[in-house]
Structure 1
Amino acid sequence: MALDETTEELATAAAGGDHRALGALLKRIEPDVLRHCERLLPYRQDAEEACQDTLLAVARNIGRFEGRSRFSTWLHIVTANCARTTYRTLKRRAAEQTSEELPEHRPDPRRVSVIAGSRLDLLDAMESLELEKPELAAALVLRDIVQLDYAEVAEQLGIPLGTAKSRIHQARKYIQSALGDAYLGK
């Protein structure tokens, strides 16, 4: 999400309590948030749900945005977290349902595209990493999803540059292993 300076200004004003700026900000970021959610979640309906959750989270938490980093960075983190939460909720609901109760909008998993299946596997791997080693997941999200450079990741996490690089490397190895296991049927 490459947001322009006007968006950054709206975010700063909204964080200061300007309700008009918040409304304008939410309207402005919605298309970008939806596109980002669609890249993370395989079904548009799920992406729309995650988008709405993200916009609600931004509205509720904009006062916590302190401007130490760019708003776009903060928004990426909020969006990724909401998309992962939506995915976990959907996964939990699916596990609770019997095969006769599966929602009709869900296609047969054997017929899901390779891309959608890969995203699901990646979300599973990210969820597992976050549960086991949240510090690695945070570094990986900032580097590979938010696309910050290594120095910015270190700054955001308040850790030395070498530690940030190490965490990202370890997280990538974990994800690679998890994805390898998924495709080998382990």
Structure 2
Amino acid sequence: MALDDTTEELARAAATGDHRALGELLKQIEPHVMRHCMRILPYQQDAEEACQDTLFAVARHISRFEGRARFSTWLHIVTANCARTTYRTLKRRAAEQADEELPTQRPDPRRVSVIAGSRLDLLDAMEALESDKPDLLQALVLRDICQLEYAEVAEQLNIPLGTAKSRIHQARKFVQAALGSDYGISR
């Protein structure tokens, strides 16, 4: 998410309690957040829900933004977390709906679209990683989703560079193993 210096300044001002800056910040980041959510979730309505959740989370937790790293990095993490939370909520609702034997309103994207199915499989793998090894997931999200350099990942997590590289490697192996049977990936 490439945001300009004006956005970074608005974020710092909003973090100190400037409500005008927060309003302007939310307006500026909404299109960026929506694009990011669309890359993660296969349906526009789901991405819109995740986008709104992200904007709400930013408004609610902007005071936690310390400015040690760029706001865009912090926003990437919040967006990815909200998108994954939206996915888990939708998955739970779908399971409840199936239990009630109500017809689903959406087809299973794994059967309709290779791209959408792949995204959902990746979200499932990330969910499994989060429940098993959350510290690995954090490193993976920062490197492969936020596209930070290894040194930036280490700085964000306040860990040595070697530890960051190791966590990313282990996370990738975990995800690869989780996806392996469906995608012909050898373990």
TM over 0.5: yes
**Sequence identity, in percent?**
81
Aligned-residue offset at 1:131:
0.5
Aligned-residue offset at 1:182:
3.2
Aligned equivalent of 2:148: 148
Aligned-residue offset at 1:107:
2.3
1:85-138 deviations in whole A, cap 9, x for unaligned? Answer: 00000011111112742442x124464210000000000000000100001000
Residues in 1 aligned to 2:44 and 2:28: alpha-carbon distance in whole angstroms: 20
Residues in 2 aligned to 1:116 and 1:25: alpha-carbon distance in whole angstroms: 30
Residues 109 and 75 of structure 1: CA distance in aligned 2, closer, same or farther (over 3 Å): closer
Residues in 1 aligned to 2:170 and 2:9: alpha-carbon distance in whole angstroms: 36
Aligned equivalent of 2:164: 164
Residues 109 and 39 of structure 1: CA distance in aligned 2, closer, same or farther (over 3 Å): closer
Residues 111 and 182 of structure 1: CA distance in aligned 2, closer, same or farther (over 3 Å): closer
The answer to whether the 8 A contact 1:94-1:102 is kept is: no
1:87-106 equivalent positions in 2, closer than 5 A: 87-98=87-98, 100-104=101-105, 106=106
SS at match of 2:3: coil
Larger CA deviation: 47-56 vs 175-184: 175-184
Residues in 1 aligned to 2:69 and 2:103: alpha-carbon distance in whole angstroms: 42
The answer to whether the 8 A contact 2:109-2:116 is kept is: no
Aligned equivalent of 1:80: 80
Aligned equivalent of 1:33: 33
Residues in 2 aligned to 1:115 and 1:121: alpha-carbon distance in whole angstroms: 10
Residues 109 and 147 of structure 1: CA distance in aligned 2, closer, same or farther (over 3 Å): closer
Residues in 2 aligned to 1:51 and 1:107: alpha-carbon distance in whole angstroms: 22
The answer to whether the 8 A contact 1:84-1:123 is kept is: yes
Unaligned 5+ segments in structure 1 are: none
Residues in 2 aligned to 1:65 and 1:12: alpha-carbon distance in whole angstroms: 8
Q: Which amino acid aligns with 1:120?
A: L
Count of aligned pairs between the two proteins: 183
Aligned-residue offset at 1:6:
0.4
Residues in 2 aligned to 1:36 and 1:110: alpha-carbon distance in whole angstroms: 20
